[in-house]
Amino acid sequence: MKVIVVKNYDEMSKKAAEIFIEQLKNKPNSILGLATGGSPVGTYKELIKAYNDGQISFKDVQTYNLDEYCGIDINHPQSYYYFMHDNLFNHVDIKEENVHIPSARGENIAKQCEDYNNALHSVEIDIQLLGIGSNGHIAFNEPGTSFEQETFIVELTDKTRQDNKRFFNSIDEVPTHAMTMGIKNIMQAKSIVMLISGASKKETVEKLLKGPITESFPASILHNHQDVTVIIDEEAYQNMK
Ligand code: PGA
């Protein structure tokens, strides 16, 4: 696991974008694994800048997102479909048919889950962007999830629903379930870039870098991956000094 410590969120975003820009220059038809949440927003802004400067194109790029809430309309501002279009896809030349986001709406969600997992089996993600929850979760794989887990429907914990309540009008609107890539799917990416920023993640960083590999801290499995870069800002790194 390669650790890069940077000054702040902006530096983290620039560093991560550099890695993605390099990837797209070397392989214009890359398959990217993408994430939602606060951590990647700045990276997406940098990628849009690089696109506008003519440094990179997304015209041959394919993307696979980590997760999506169940039962939420794609036009809902809190759907991850909406998030990805608003923060990246609407601003670059990606083809909609090359965008893959778990779909967990309407009837037969189990079938949609199986289809997404099969789609993941048919490709090899070149580079996966990841955030981390303060409890070590990656995507919606909460502590206790098997390292062998593939794409599944997860019931969100009360804590996660409470954490995400701020984005909705009330707790009743927060979805109860989500579809998420499993840890095994995430580990199959050729390379992984994880972003960690802010003082609220300082204990998370300590556990990730010093702790044992255990299912009670899902991100710890990344120590077993051969190509992981973790970009951490100084506030998040403070307990390591
Ligand atoms: P964040 O979320 O990027 O908004 O901190 C990370 C996560 O919960 O995976």
Closest CA to 39 of 232, 238, 211: 232
Distance 156 CA to ligand 1 centre (A): 14
Ligand 1 atom at minimal distance to the Cα of residue 37: 4
Q: For residue 158, what pLDDT is reported? A: 87
Q: For residue 211, what pLDDT is reported? A: 92
> Would you give the end-to-end CA distance of the chain in angstroms?
18
Closest CA to 187 of 219, 230, 213: 219
Ligand 1 atom at minimal distance to the Cα of residue 134: 8
Mutate-to-test residue for ligand 1 from 34, 39, 141, highest number of ligand atoms within 8 A of CB: 39
- List of the chain residues with pLDDT < 70: none
Ligand 1 atom at minimal distance to the Cα of residue 139: 9
Ligand 1 atom at minimal distance to the Cα of residue 40: 3
Q: For residue 38, what pLDDT is reported? A: 92
Nearest protein CA to atom 8 of ligand 1, as residue:
133
Per-residue pLDDT of 143-153, as tens digits, reads 999 999 999 99
User: pTM of the predicted model, to two decimals?
Assistant: 0.96
Distances, alpha carbon 11 to alpha carbons 4, 8, 16, 169, 219, in Å: 11, 5, 9, 33, 22
Distance 37 CA to ligand 1 centre (A): 5
Please answer whether residues 76 and 112 qualify as being in contact, where contact means their C-beta atoms are separated by less than 8 angstroms: no
Q: Which residues are catalytic?
A: 67, 135, 137, 142
Q: For residue 163, what pLDDT is reported? A: 80
**In the structure, which protein residues have their CB atom closer than 6 angstroms to any atom of ligand 1?**
37-39, 131-133
Mutate-to-test residue for ligand 1 from 132, 134, 157, highest number of ligand atoms within 8 A of CB: 132
Distance 12 CA to ligand 1 centre (A): 14
Distance 40 CA to ligand 1 centre (A): 9
